[in-house]
Amino acid sequence: MTESAGKVNLLGLTQPQLEQFFESIGEKRFRAGQVMKWIHHFGVDDFDAMSNIGKALRDKLKARAEVRGPEIVSEDISSDGTRKWVVRVASGSCVETVYIPQGGRGTLCVSSQAGCALDCSFCSTGKQGFNSDLTAAEVIGQVWIANKSFGTVPAKIDRAVTNVVMMGMGEPLLNFDNVVAAMHIMMDDLGYGISKRKVTLSTSGVVPMIDKLAQEIDVSLALSLHAPNDELRNQLVPINKKYPLAVLLPACRRYIEGLGEKRFLTIEYTLLKDVNDQPEHAAQMIELLRDVPCKINLIPFNPFPFSGYERPSNNAIRRFQDLLHKAGHNVTVRTTRGDDIDAACGQLVGQVMDRTRRSERYIAVRQLNGDSDVPRSANRT
Ligand code: SAH
Ligand code: SF4
Phi, psi of 287, deg, nearest 5: -65, -45
Q: Is 252 among the domain residues?
A: yes
- Predicted local distance difference test score (pLDDT) of residue 150: 86
What is the number of the ligand 2 atom nearest to the C-alpha of 119?
A: 6
The total of other beta-carbon atoms located within 10 Å of residue 257's CB is: 12
Give the chain's domain count.
Answer: 2
Q: Is 83 among the domain residues?
A: yes
Question: Does 204 sit in the ligand 2 pocket, CB within 6 Å?
Answer: yes
| 21-44: b (≥16 Cβ within 10 Å) or e | bbeeeebeeebbbbbbbbbbbebb
**Residues 52, 129 within the same domain:** no
Which of 111, 171, 252, 268 most suits a substitution to test ligand 1, by most atoms within 8 Å of the C-beta?
A: 268
Which residue range forms the structural domain that includes residue 29?
A: 3-66
**Residues 350, 271 within the same domain:** yes
**Residues 127, 173 within the same domain:** yes
Residue 102 CA: distances (Å) to CA of 160, 186, 367, 369: 11, 20, 42, 45
pLDDT in tens for each of the 381 residues of the chain? 555 668 999 999 999 999 999 999 999 999 999 999 999 999 999 999 999 999 999 999 999 999 999 999 999 998 888 999 999 999 999 999 999 998 889 999 999 999 999 999 999 999 989 999 999 999 999 999 999 998 755 544 467 899 999 999 999 999 999 999 999 999 999 999 999 999 999 999 999 999 999 999 999 999 999 999 999 999 999 999 999 999 999 999 999 998 877 889 999 999 999 999 999 999 999 999 998 999 999 999 999 888 999 999 999 999 999 999 999 999 999 877 666 666 665 555 554 543 333 343 333 333 333 333 333 222 222
**Residues 282, 228 within the same domain:** yes
Distance CA 288, CA 290 (A): 6
Question: Does 167 sit in the ligand 1 pocket, CB within 6 Å?
Answer: yes
pTM above 0.75, yes or no: yes
CA of 152 to the centre of ligand 2 (A): 33
Nearest ligand, CA of residue 125? 2
Q: Which of 14, 45, 66 is the last residue of a domain?
A: 66
Q: Is 197 among the domain residues?
A: yes
**Residues 77, 30 within the same domain:** no
